[in-house]
Structure 1
Amino acid sequence: MSEHTSGLVLNLECTVPAKPEETFRLLTEPDELAAWWGPHGFTIPAVEVNLVAGGRYRFTMAPPEGEPFHLSGTFLEIDPPWRVVYTFSWEEPAPDDRETVVDLSLARADSGTHVVLSQGPFLTEERLALHTAGWSDSFQKLGTVLAGRA
């Protein structure tokens, strides 16, 4: 996995051991998302997805301790199995939160699928760091889920 930031935009890449079609399913289907989304220790007790351009999604995230919280957004572009773009907003935002855009692009790789993530722009370095950590953990969990299916 590699990461770099440009301004206050997160850019993260990883390669997972699955074909693009399977990887895309894990990135977009509710039951699949619940298996890997979020930082280590978090669970996703509810996922709603209307996977059409203009469709909405909503996740309930539960930390190891504390109250569940929510994120939601709108799908802007869907090109299975190569790309999905959507807005991302916390429903219980911190003062430094604002809506960002997530762009996930997939490409065939010798060992599976290369996933490229871009998200931003963020308002502060703190929010960028929070999302960098969350996506890094999530991509590790995604790779683990896919390796278990190989």
Structure 2
Amino acid sequence: MASYTIDIDETFDVPRNRVFALFADHSRFGKLLGAPVKRIKDSEQADPNGLGSVRRLGIGPIGLEETIIRFEPDSVIEYTVTSMSPIRNHLGRIRFNDAANGGTRVHYTITFEDLVPFTGKLIQKALDQGIRKGIRRIPKLA
């Protein structure tokens, strides 16, 4: 099994709390990525999208579920794939830091291993391109 990493580091002229809110809200996160995303389990914390919440990405049998495993408002979101998928040992981490002039630095990393040989590179490329395309929408959506 091969390991893969996606590493995206971008800065935006948008306040950190607004950028965090865009990533934290599952339905808005879906709009950012351009994919259907629905919260299927609420967090037991104050924010229903927080720690322990589960979101479903995609449509029907080609979708997958992700569970939020770390949620620190305006700072970090971590999630992992918790349904059947062609990848394993998945960890998504999104860190939010202040940038110059009231902006926000977003550092988004994903690590995973492929379960089906030779699919990891294709999945890595598709995720990287999709996330980079979505992240460019932050100034319009936040």
Q: Structure 1 69/27 Cα, relative in aligned 2: closer, same or farther at 3 Å?
A: same
State the TM-score, normalized to the length of structure 2: 0.72
1:118 aligns with 2:109: yes
State the TM-score, normalized to the length of structure 1: 0.69
Partner deviation per Cα, 1:17-68 (whole Å, 9 max, x = no partner) = 3111111111121331121115xxxx31x41163232332222x25xxxx76
Residue 127 of structure 1: which of 120, 131, 136 is its match?
A: 120
Alignment gaps of 5+ in structure 1: 1-6
The runs of 4+ residues in structure 1 deviating greater than 6 Å are none
- Secondary structure of the equivalent of 2:130? helix
Instruction: Please name the residue that 1:73 is paired with.
Output: 66
1:12 aligns with 2:2: no
- Report % sequence identity: 15
Instruction: Please name the residue that 1:4 is paired with.
Output: none
CA-based RMSD of the aligned residues comes to 2.7
Alignment gaps of 5+ in structure 2: 43-48
> How many pairs were matched up?
130
Q: Structure 1 71/114 Cα, relative in aligned 2: closer, same or farther at 3 Å?
A: same
Q: Structure 1 98/113 Cα, relative in aligned 2: closer, same or farther at 3 Å?
A: same
1:105 aligns with 2:98: no
